[in-house]
């Protein structure tokens, strides 16, 4: 635990979860997006599930806002929520349309595949039952990993405009700045010297990161539909 006592909470969590983090940010599906070679049908399948996921992701952030300790935290979390409801959900629906997909399914959980359902239940439960720090720890791997995987890809965007536009949504300075604010808020909320707190946050963070990998696996076609 000595490393945890001397580091920021976010850095501790990122470091100890390196294997799963690498599996998410360098997933074969991400690599095919970067190359512009991923079949559009596979990307459409991703968006069909991600629209459902993002609805509950937004609800989880809303629960976390209710536990914010001060107005500065409310401000950061509210802008995080608007990134999802004002930018990413509309963009996901637009990507579905561009890829020739049917209208998004009803937001009822019946449209979710098992991984989507399990991941969103983890987010909602932790955000509802845990502390503000625990809830933020649960939702951070999704936001943070997308910024980390997209940033390097901005230097050589694929020719396919669908993939280029998706990467650009996460690879810009504004998105990176918001990630810096949310991870900074976690560093303020969590105490790296508290072994019990860090043990709990580590479990939450690692669980979310593993679900990120499983979500990519599912979207890539490794989880059967129905």
Q: Which stretches within the chain are classed as H helix?
A: 2-6, 9-16, 18-25, 28-35, 40-65, 71-82, 89-98, 114-129, 132-150, 161-171, 173-189, 195-217
Q: How far does CA 128 lie from the centroid of its chain? A: 18
Distances (CA, A) of 81 to 45, 59, 96, 136: 24, 9, 21, 12
pLDDT, position 110: 60
Q: Tell me which DSSP letter residue 38 carries.
A: S
pLDDT, position 89: 96
Query: Which residues of the chain are modeled with pLDDT < 50?
Result: 1-6, 224-226
Burial of 24 (0-12, 13-18, 19+ CB in 10 A): buried
pLDDT, position 2: 38
What are 194-219's pLDDT values in tens digits? 999 999 999 999 999 999 999 999 99
Q: Which domains does the chain have, with CATH numbers?
A: 40-139+173-221 (1.20.910.10)
The dihedral sign for the CA sequence 48, 49, 52, 58: negative
pLDDT, position 216: 97
What are 120-159's pLDDT values in tens digits? 999 999 999 999 999 999 999 999 999 999 999 999 999 9
Kindly report the number of other CB atoms within 10 A of residue 36's CB atom.
15
């Amino acid at each position: 635990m000595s490393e945890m006592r001397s580091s920021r909470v976010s850095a501790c969590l990122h470091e100890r979860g390196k294997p799963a983090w690498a599996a998410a940010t360098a997933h074969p599906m991400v690599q095919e997006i970067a190359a512009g070679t991923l079949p559009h049908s596979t990307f459409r399948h991703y968006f069909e599930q991600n629209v459902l996921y993002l609805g509950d992701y937004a609800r989880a952030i809303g629960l976390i806002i209710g536990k914010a300790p001060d107005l500065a935290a409310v401000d950061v979390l509210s802008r995080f929520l608007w990134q999802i409801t004002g930018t990413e959900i509309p963009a996901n629906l637009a990507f579905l349309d561009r890829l020739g997909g049917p209208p998004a399914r009803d937001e009822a959980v019946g449209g979710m595949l098992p991984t989507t359902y399990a991941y969103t239940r983890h987010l909602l439960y932790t955000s509802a039952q845990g502390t503000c720090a625990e809830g933020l720890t649960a939702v951070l791997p999704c936001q943070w990993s997308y910024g980390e995987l997209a940033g390097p890809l901005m230097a050589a965007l694929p020719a396919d405009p669908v993939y280029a536009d998706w990467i650009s949504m996460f690879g810009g300075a504004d998105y990176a700045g918001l990630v810096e604010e949310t991870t900074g808020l976690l560093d303020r909320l969590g105490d790296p010297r508290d072994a019990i707190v860090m043990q709990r946050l580590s479990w939450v963070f690692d669980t979310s990161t593993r679900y990120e990998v499983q979500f990519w696996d599912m979207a890539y076609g490794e989880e059967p539909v129905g």
